[in-house]
Amino acid sequence: MGHFVHMYQYTRAGGGGVTRQPLPGAFLDLVGVLGPRLRAEGRPVTAHTTRHHYQGFDADVLDALLAAGVAVVDPGPETRMRFWGERSRRDMAALAADPVFGPRLEGTVHGHLLPNRPMARARRAGTAITLLPGNEGIAQEVASRVGKLVDTVGGGGMAGAEESLAELETLLDRPTVTALGGIADALAGAGAEGALRRALAAGLPEELAWPELESVYAGFASGAGPEQAEAPLPGVEGVTSTWPVLTVFGRDRAVAVAPDGVRGSCRFTVPEDATMFAVHYVGGSFLVSWTLKPSPYFCDTAVWADRPDEPFAPEQSSGLVPFGGSLDGAYGFQFETADGGGRHSGQRVLRPGGREGIDGDELQLGDGARIWVNGVFNDRAWELADPVSGEPRGPVALPDFPGRPAGADPADPARPADPAHRADPADPADPAPPTAPADPAPPAAEPSETGMSLAREALQLAPLPDGLTGSPLGSRDGLVGTRILFRTRHRDHAPDHYLLESIDGRKALFDIDRPGQEPWGLWAPPEGAAQDVVLAEAETRTGVRAYAADGVLLWELDGHASPRHPRVKPVRKATASGGVALPPAFWYLLRTRDAAGSRALRAVSRETAQALLEAARTGAEALGAAVARELPAVTDPVLARAVAAVAARALRVEERRLALHRRATLLAQAPPVLPRRSVPDGELLPALCGLVSYGQRDAWRRTADVALPATLSALVADGACLAGTIAEEVRRLSPPAPPQDWSQLLGTIDAAAWRAAVAPTPDGERAALIALLDTWADQPFARAGGRWWAGRAAGEVLDGLRARGTTVVSAAVRPGGSERWFVAAAVGDGADDPVPAAAPGARPVRVERDDAARLRALIAAVEEHGPLPVPESAAARFAALTGV
């Protein structure tokens, strides 16, 4: 049995390579027949291997084996499962009920609702219940997923509450709400005051400050033009690092600032048509570089700011870039030399006047006496750099971190795999080295390193600058740093489970929330926060996302832009906090802005959060007064504004929660109107093939809603809304899933009637068409004399018509798109009709005859006498008239 699965899960693809294929239905039947023998044999079946090296389960096969009571080898959660959607031949009941594989099935089916390629539209509405209705095991797993989201709305961080609420707004369709009894009650108890309290108590990014840098930002803002007034940092174009010096530059000037104050500044000129430029602080001087190339990777021309008439082509230029994330500037640990007269630039030290440039080996570590260097993706050990020339002198062990040497893995040629190691890109289930357990289970009190490997390129180590006695990210013996480990086995092409260790001994586990994400720091919020905060990469290259120890998202912060990666507004569900994130290396240098204010936030109560939420309802002025009244210890204006901003976000979350609660309450009730004959879209749409056009439907929707009568339910609800018997909100929520465009049948329903009436139509399609005609006959647009408009328009156009009193029924042409198909009643003689003015492409439809009576008579005739035979003479006559 296992050998057959091994041989036939994949087949050769026509264009080369291999592709999955469903196993024959006869094989699935054979599993049931052989079930007693397989159980008697007592050996588990291996059903995840293939002859093409790829691994994975076929959900149909797995369900058949489990239904027969056969044990199955479990290779671990990293092994994927293929769910065939509408092509599946099993109900998945046994698989969903399995305590091990059931949760993985729910996650797999849930994945079918997500976009499957970079340019795909937004995820589809609904849950695994939508695709597998009536499956108790699936319902239990979905209930767990939804419950966690509701808990986050009511008690997570503010950004987590926003993201969870957005997810719930997508998940909670009619089938899901119906299956999850009590979801409306759960939403009723998830008030936003809980998330507001958690957000304030867990720590806000505005609690950290660098006064000297803020003064520099203010100086740039004062000289910025009005066109930059709305920029996050007016007048600032980017930053570079000569740690602990941060160079902030605009279009024509730069300032180097350190924890103890400004080190220097300069004026410069770069060509107006420069596509990228950067300024680096080097031993009291400034190296200005630029390029005129389109879409550049780095700058190729440089000049020293104090020698503006001597431009040159640097020997090395791959490091001449503004900070742009982990691959453009690493973490920002590019060190100033010990004498302050130069900058370690990877393979050498750059000093004022030098023309060596900056190379791409940006990774550096330091312990105050020595510097180690490395390069991203170089897959080599850390090398000690010569303190004068900066040239690498060979591998030398790094200083110890708590628990074990920081560089034990990188210095060992036989070290375990690191993130640079990649399995076969086509095989996400590439097995790990045999020494790595599949799923380590660390004790709650002290996360274990078992099964973990060192993320070599994520190591951070640096001496604490003079004048600083501590760091918000931890320090020990005058050093700051963080060590990152990752679980060796991972499902996708990048790690998904991490362990962070601060140099002061604090540890935290972290699970990513998007592929490729990496954590980099462990923040201890000031004045005694209950949990440390994991700092990780955001979707933007220089942004930061902060997570509590339980994985709840607390806040997100955008970082500095780079010409190589211009600032684009990401499609995000959470509101970014104010301010701009520094490169990770400089978070070690931040200080507590207002200790008394932070102490007050750590102890904030739910009652205080509720008072702030109530004040937010009355406006910004009242909210500011409430912050001063409820939190008198918060005296710093930046921190007070941050608290008010979070409270204002909480109000928006609360308003959305109340709207979602109302929607869930309506969905939990039975639809006010239902078709007499129900037929799922999986049967209706094929019956209408050729009569209506759905465009490239399958390119945008991974799995059709085959099991749900979405279109017929929408048809009857839309008709009731046009007749004035139900409201727009009730109409919109009535279908169990997004419907298809039935408006194309307006004025052409006779075509569907003829197809239902003639004998060549298959019986299954005829039954679906009869259900459509029976439903159509009850609608207002089947009555003689009716005048209608049908077409497509943007959603905001249709909302405008509704606001002016026009009844319009509509639905999205594609999930996540703004275009809607619509039907509206015509008004008057046409001159005063608002529809053609708002939607010029709308087509008018007039129902001349009594379609209701005609369709009912046709249905009765077909049911009594059977379908009408089509003789050869009729076919010949049709061909002669049409040329078909």
- What was the pLDDT predicted at 548? 95
**Which pLDDT does position 430 carry in this prediction?**
33
Task: Give tens-digit pLDDT for 608-641.
Answer: 999 999 999 999 999 999 999 999 999 999 999 9
DSSP E strand boundaries for 283-387:
285-291, 301-304, 343-344, 349-350, 363-366, 371-374, 383-385
Residue 445: partners with Cβ closer than 8 Å, 6 or more residues away: none
What is the residue extent of each domain of the chain?
21-46+58-188, 192-204+593-668, 211-224+233-589, 681-882
Element (H, E) at 481: strand 479-487
Per-residue pLDDT band for 480 (boundaries 50, 70, 90) equals: very high
d(CA 643, CA 27): 62
Q: Please name every residue paired with 475 in a beta bridge, in sequence order, or none if there are none.
A: 480
Q: Residue 704 and residue 379: Cα distance in Å, rounded? A: 45
CA–CA separation, 541 vs 328, rounded Å?
A: 9
What count of residues does the chain have? 884
pLDDT, tens digit, for every residue of 273-316? 999 999 999 999 999 999 999 989 899 999 999 999 999 999 99
Q: Are the beta carbons of 854 and 752 closer than 8 angstroms? A: no
237-241, 302-306, 399-403, 565-569: the lowest-pLDDT one: 565-569
Rounded CA-CA distance 735/368 in Å is: 66
List beta partners, residue 501.
483, 507
pLDDT digits (tens, 9 = 90+) for 788-827: 999 999 999 999 999 999 999 999 998 778 899 999 999 8
CA distance linking residue 395 with residue 383, whole number of Å? 4
pLDDT at residue 315, as a whole number: 94
Average pLDDT over residues 168-172: 94
**Amino acid 494: pLDDT:** 77
How many alpha carbons lie under 13 Å from residue 143 in its C-beta half-sphere?
A: 14
Dihedral sign for Cα atoms in the order 564, 566, 570, 576: positive
Give residue 124's pLDDT.
Answer: 77
| Virtual torsion, Cα 766, 769, 775, 776, nearest 10 deg | -130
Please classify residue 153 by burial: count the beta carbons closer than 10 Å to its beta carbon, then call 0-12 exposed, 13-18 middle and 19+ buried: buried
When pLDDT is averaged across residues 654-661 and rounded to a whole number, the result is 97
The pLDDT score that the predictor gives to residue 438 is: 35
Element housing 834 (H / E): helix 834-838
Cα distance between residue 122 and residue 573, in whole Å: 12
Query: If we measure between CA atoms, which residue out of 204, 146, 201 comes closest to residue 179?
Result: 146
| Rounded Cα–Cα distance for residues 623 and 617 (Å) | 8
Q: Under a CB-based contact definition with an 8 Å cutoff, are residues 26 and 61 in contact?
A: no
Q: What is the mean predicted confidence (pLDDT) over 495-523?
A: 92
405 band by pLDDT with thresholds 50, 70 and 90: low
Question: Beta strand 57-58 with 81-82: parallel, antiparallel or unpaired?
Answer: parallel
Q: Are strands 261-267 and 253-258 parallel, antiparallel or unpaired?
A: antiparallel
Helix (H, G, I), strand (E, B) or coil at 793: strand
Report the percent of the chain where pLDDT is more than 70. 90
- 714-739 tens-digit pLDDT: 999 999 999 999 999 999 999 988 89
- What would the two tokens of residue 644 be? 């008010």
Residue 52 and residue 25 in contact, taking contact as beta carbons nearer than 8 Å: no
Say if CB 56 and CB 79 are below 8 A apart.
yes
Quick: pLDDT tens for 72-131.
999 988 898 999 887 888 999 999 999 999 999 999 998 888 765 544 556 778 899 988
Which residues is 256 bridged to in the sheet?
A: 247, 264
Question: What are 662's two structure tokens?
Answer: 């109302």
Q: Could you tell me the CA-to-CA distances from 810 to 204, 470, 659, 756, 819 in Å, in that order?
A: 43, 60, 20, 26, 10
Amino acid at 811: A
> What average pLDDT does the segment 347-362 reach?
92
The rounded distance, in Å, linking the Cα atoms of 214 and 421 is: 41
Residue 412 one-letter amino acid: D
CA-angle at 276, arms to 273 and 278, nearest 5° = 125
Please say whether the beta carbons of 285 and 307 come within 8 A: no
Q: Which residue has the higher pLDDT, 508 or 436?
A: 508
Helix axes 637-668, 595-602, angle to 10 degrees: 20
The pLDDT, as a whole number, for residue 451 is: 82
Distance of CA 630 to the CA centre of its chain: 36
Return the amino acid letter for 103: P
How many angstroms separate the CA atoms of 136 and 94, rounded? 10
Which position has the higher pLDDT, 293 or 487? 293
Cα–Cα nearest to 353, from 362, 340, 342: 342
- Angle, CA 209 vertex, CA 208 and CA 213 arms, to 5°: 150
CA dihedral over 404, 202, 513, 87, signed as positive or negative = positive
Contacts of 580-583 with C-beta under 8 Å, sequence gap 24+, read 580/232, 580/233, 581/205, 581/542, 581/543, 581/544, 581/557, 582/210, 582/239, 582/246, 582/332, 583/239, 583/241, 583/246, 583/323, 583/329, 583/331, 583/332, 583/542, 583/559
Report the percent of the chain where pLDDT is more than 90.
69
Which letter does DSSP use for residue 577 in this model? Answer: P
Q: How far is Cα of residue 763 from the mean position of the Cα atoms in its chain? A: 44
With CA atoms as reference, report the closest residue to 825 among 753, 749, 746, 752. Answer: 746
CA dihedral (72, 74, 75, 77) positive or negative:
positive
Helices then strands, each counted (H, E), the chain: 28, 35
DSSP structural state of residue 421: -
3-state helix, strand, coil in the chain (%, to 5): 35, 20, 45
Residue 416 has pLDDT above 50, yes or no: no
Q: Which long-range contacts (CB under 8 A, 24 or more apart) does 602-607 make?
A: 602/201, 602/525, 602/527, 602/528, 602/529, 602/530, 603/201, 604/197, 604/200, 604/201, 604/631, 605/197, 606/193, 606/194, 606/197
Q: For the chain, what is the largest distance between any 2 Cα atoms, rounded to a whole number of angstroms? A: 101
Is it the case that residue 418 has pLDDT exceeding 80?
no
Cα-atom radius of gyration of the chain, to the nearest Å? 32
From start to end of 781-867, where are the E strands?
A: 787-794, 808-812, 819-825, 843-846
Q: How confident is the model at residue 115, as a pLDDT? A: 67
Residue owning tokens 């797993």: 141
Q: Count Cα atoms within 13 angstroms, Cβ side, for 476.
A: 13
Q: Which long-range contacts (CB under 8 A, 24 or more apart) does 265-269 make?
A: 266/305, 266/306, 267/305, 268/303, 268/305, 268/308, 269/308
What pTM did the predictor assign? 0.85
Of 292, 210, 242, 858, the closest CA to residue 579 belongs to: 210
Give the up-direction half-sphere exposure of residue 261: CA atoms within 13 A in the CB hemisphere.
Answer: 0
Contacts for 474 with CB less than 8 Å, ≥ 6 apart = 480, 482, 502, 503, 504, 505, 506, 522, 524
pLDDT-derived band at 165 (thresholds 50, 70, 90) equals very high
Q: Which residue has the higher pLDDT, 570 or 137?
A: 137
